[in-house]
Amino acid sequence: MDPTVDPAVKSFVPVAPESHFPLQNLPYGMFSPTPRDEPRAGTRIGDFVLDLAVIQNAGLLDAAGLPEGIFSHYVLNPFMELDPVQRRAVRLLIHGLLRAEEPTLRDDTALRGRALLPADSVTMQFPVGIPDYTDFYASREHATNVGIMFRGKDNALMPNWLHLPVGYHGRASSVILSGQDVTRPSGQTLPPEQETPVFGPCKLMDFELEMGFLIGTPNRLGEPVSADNAEDNIFGLVLVNDWSARDIQKWEYQPLGPFTAKNFATSISPWIVTLEALAPFRCASPEQDPAPLPYLQESNRGTFDINLDVHIQAEDDDEALRVSESNFKYLYWTMAQQLAHHTVSGCNLSTGDLLASGTISGPEKTNYGSMLEISWRGTEPVTLPGGGERKFLHDGDTVTMSAWCQGDGYRIGFGEVTGKILPAIGTQRAGNR
């Protein structure tokens, strides 16, 4: 067993069983000790953030042979592009420093005070420079639900869907950090029974429950990555809310797909969870029929058992309503297949590129990953704790997503990705919904 995921090993830092950040996780993120400080890299342990720049400057990571100051950059990219073997060596050293029986950091009061900071006292920063962003459509249940709504049950899946992981290139500049507000977009829509479009605020604002993975090791232009080797190129995973303007999308997406309906905001969680931390939670992926073409076939096909949930809270409500409980394991197309298909043309991926799964829905209504499905295109509204109904999202609503793997007495989690809907530009004073 990889010693860094042994559940029997404890940290000298107290960690509650329900915490997303035990010693077995050790995700990477960027933070500032105070809002005035420059960003630096850290890892999360319980209710504390370990400052990796301080640890490196103290010489405690020298055995990994890291470049000087690699954890003092504005983003994690210089660390992400290192050889995976070197990154694993860093993980092992950090794990060793935090073990309950290791005195180096535990008993050095001065160093511990500089390196271990209360998580609620720091400011989380955007963790990675994202050169490019690709969004897939990898959930069969989601694709089927949407197809039934718009094309009928007999034509729910398009002819290509079972043969390749459908995707499109998104907008990297509008990927934002959890906690940042999202302004309702405006655009063209085609009202029912009309032949010409109108311009105005989106009326069918939605969330999309997704997971994303970030590229560590890049591939060269013209050199595809095989499905069996794809995970060697993945640095880690984040939780994603790919906000969607359904009415704008319906009008604009033909024939080239989403554009302004998706480019206004995509929220990600601040902590990047590595494949090493997720390894104990590997599980089977859905069987594929028909069998995909050889370049998409995997010798050891599998995925990860990651619980997902979504809550909506109205601005005037004291409580949130859980509207979805899904799981990453439902995805028909795996991360390895998505990466292999992305690069089969010879496309070169760069360190920091974000590839998202598309909406993750499961077989039951409680597993649906968007309001489009939960309210079934607005025909089945949900009732919030304060009595308000929701077919789609209103201004002032806060959407909070969470993700975690459940172990025996511990969790490996991603924390949360959250965002509040603000009125469209030009309507904010009027409080337009």
Domain count, the chain: 2
Mean pLDDT of 6-24: 97
Given a contact cutoff of 8 angstroms between Cβ atoms, the answer to whether 215 and 336 are in contact is no
Same domain (yes/no): 53, 190: no
Q: What is the pLDDT of residues 211-270, one digit of tens each?
A: 999 999 999 999 999 999 999 999 999 999 999 999 999 999 989 999 999 999 999 999
Same domain (yes/no): 194, 71: no
Same domain (yes/no): 275, 362: yes
Binned at pLDDT 50, 70 and 90, residue 433 comes out as very low
Query: What are all long-range contacts of 283-292, with beta carbons under 8 Å and residues at least 24 apart?
Result: 283/329, 284/329, 285/329, 285/331, 285/332, 285/334, 286/140, 286/330, 286/331, 286/332, 288/162, 288/332, 289/162, 290/162, 290/163, 292/163, 292/164, 292/337
User: Is residue 163 annotated as part of the catalytic site, yes or no?
Assistant: no
Same domain (yes/no): 268, 207: yes
Within a domain: residue 428?
A: no
Same domain (yes/no): 52, 162: no
Q: What is the pLDDT of residues 45-86, one digit of tens each?
A: 999 999 999 999 999 999 999 999 999 999 999 999 999 999
Same domain (yes/no): 149, 121: no
How far is Cα 49 from Cα 45, in angstroms, rounded to an integer? 6
Of 142, 341, 342, 394, the active-site residue reads: 142
Task: Supply the pLDDT for residue 428.
Answer: 59
Q: What is the pLDDT of residues 39-48, one digit of tens each?
A: 999 999 999 9
Same domain (yes/no): 234, 120: no
Tokens encoding 272: 């990047």
Q: Is the pLDDT of residue 337 over 70?
A: yes
Tokens encoding 408: 């025996």
Task: Supply the pLDDT for residue 206.
Answer: 98
Of all residues in the chain, the percent with pLDDT exceeding 90 is: 96
Same domain (yes/no): 32, 171: no
Task: Supply the pLDDT for residue 124.
Answer: 98
Within a domain: residue 8?
A: yes
Q: What is the pLDDT of residues 154-181, one digit of tens each?
A: 999 999 999 999 999 999 999 999 999 9
Same domain (yes/no): 202, 88: no
CATH number at residue 215: 3.90.850.10
Q: Is the pLDDT of residue 431 over 70?
A: no
**Final residue before a domain boundary, out of 125, 151, 173:** 125
**Final residue before a domain boundary, out of 97, 125, 153:** 125
Binned at pLDDT 50, 70 and 90, residue 426 comes out as confident
Task: Supply the pLDDT for residue 249.
Answer: 96
> Residue 198 CA to chain centroid, in angstroms?
34
How far is Cα 384 from Cα 319, in angstroms, rounded to an integer? 8
Tally of residues, the chain: 433
How far is Cα 385 from Cα 323, in angstroms, rounded to an integer? 12
Same domain (yes/no): 337, 237: yes
Within a domain: residue 433?
A: no
> Residue 154 CA to chain centroid, in angstroms?
32
Same domain (yes/no): 326, 239: yes
Is the peptide bond prior to 290 cis by the omega test (within 30 degrees of 0)?
yes
How far is Cα 176 from Cα 236, in angstroms, rounded to an integer? 17
Within a domain: residue 431?
A: no
What is the number of other CB atoms lying within 10 angstroms of the CB of residue 203? 15
**Final residue before a domain boundary, out of 125, 153, 187:** 125
CATH number at residue 88: 2.30.30.230
Within a domain: residue 162?
A: yes
Range(s) of the domain holding residue 253: 133-422
Beta bridge partners of 129: none
Binned at pLDDT 50, 70 and 90, residue 1 comes out as confident
> Which strand (E) or helix (H) includes residue 79?
helix 77-80
Of all residues in the chain, the percent with pLDDT exceeding 70 is: 99
Q: What is the pLDDT of residues 349-400, one digit of tens each?
A: 999 999 999 999 999 999 999 999 999 999 999 999 999 999 999 999 999 9
Is the peptide bond prior to 255 cis by the omega test (within 30 degrees of 0)?
yes
Task: Supply the pLDDT for residue 122.
Answer: 98
Instruction: Give the mean pLDDT of the chain.
Output: 96
What is the number of other CB atoms lying within 10 angstroms of the CB of residue 234? 19
Same domain (yes/no): 307, 387: yes
Q: Is the pLDDT of residue 119 over 80?
A: yes
Tokens encoding 368: 């649906």
Given a contact cutoff of 8 angstroms between Cβ atoms, the answer to whether 103 and 240 are in contact is no
The alpha-carbon radius of gyration of the chain (Å, integer) is: 22
| Placement of tokens 């490996």 in the chain | 412
